A and B are shown apart, each in its own frame.
Chain A
Amino acid sequence: EAGVTQFPSHSVIEKGQTVTLRCDPISGHDNLYWYRRVMGKEIKFLLHFVKESKQDESGMPNNRFLAERTGGTYSTLKVQPAELEDSGVYFCASSEFRGGDGYTFGSGTRLTVV
């Protein structure tokens, strides 16, 4: 079974630029989550999709972040315009059922804003 795939694995952009991160969940997993880890801090929840619908976006830091999930398959997370404090590792996870049990995480995208 293919795991959760994220790309790019690394991205370095300048402040003010736009970056789009992509996540391909495990096939058949309706639940898709975005998380972020800033250096030295805990993994923080950003957003939860159930199929193509946003179930919970309470963790999105501000309106510079836009997440979409096309047709309930892959998801993108766009940051526009990027700020220095957006640097961190962005993880995507998917699960068949809601809750933390059985989350499968991707390897993450390390975003550096300079």
Chain B
Amino acid sequence: EDQVTQSPEALRLQEGESSSLNCSYTVSGLRGLFWYRQDPGKGPEFLFTLYSAGEEKEKERLKATLTKKESFLHITAPKPEDSATYLCAALKSGGSYIPTFGRGTSLIVHP
């Protein structure tokens, strides 16, 4: 069964304290790995898609990387406005084109 596991469940950082969020996946034949940001009371907002091991994508203070078993979302010098829940989802090749989501990491950045 396809599984996506995110860690940690929750993370508290001080402003400027860099860290990484982990997304481990067991999907037979990965087609794409997606990262979303979700703010309270809102739906997930798309951030990145990674397609192959070794690929990296960047957006402001966020950088997503991908290996054959996991993905990392690196947050460099975070600001309070980066506080949100970060979700990853894995899409396997073939089949229904429906990604499997992880439970997310709740990030709080203190000023």
Contacts and interface: CB of A to CB of B under 8 A. Distances in A.
**Contact residue range for chain A?**
20 to 34
Interface string A23-37: 000000000010100
B102 A42 contact: yes
Interface string B63-91: 00000000000000000000000010101
Contacts, number: 61
Contacts of A100: 32, 34, 49, 89, 91, 97, 99
A4 to B, nearest CB: 7
Contact of A56 (B46, B98, B101): B98
Given A42-B101, A45-B98, A93-B43, A101 B4 contact: no
Determine the main DSSP class of A at the interface with B. Answer: loop
Interface in B37-79: 41-46, 49
Contacts of A103: 34, 44, 46
A99 B101 contact: no
B110 interface: no
**Contact residue range for chain B?**
20 to 34
Contact of A99 (B44, B99, B100, B104): B99
B57 to A, nearest CB: 12
A55 B36 CA distance: 24
A99 to B, nearest CB: 5
B103 A42 contact: yes
B32 A107 contact: no
Pick the 5 closest A-B CB pairs, nearest first: A105-B43, A100-B99, A98-B97, A43-B101, A100-B34
24 contacts: A33-B98, A41-B103, A42-B101, A42-B102, A42-B103, A44-B101, A48-B96, A48-B97, A55-B96, A56-B96, A91-B43, A99-B97, A100-B32, A100-B34, A100-B89, A100-B91, A101-B32, A101-B34, A101-B46, A103-B34, A103-B44, A105-B43, A106-B43, A107-B43
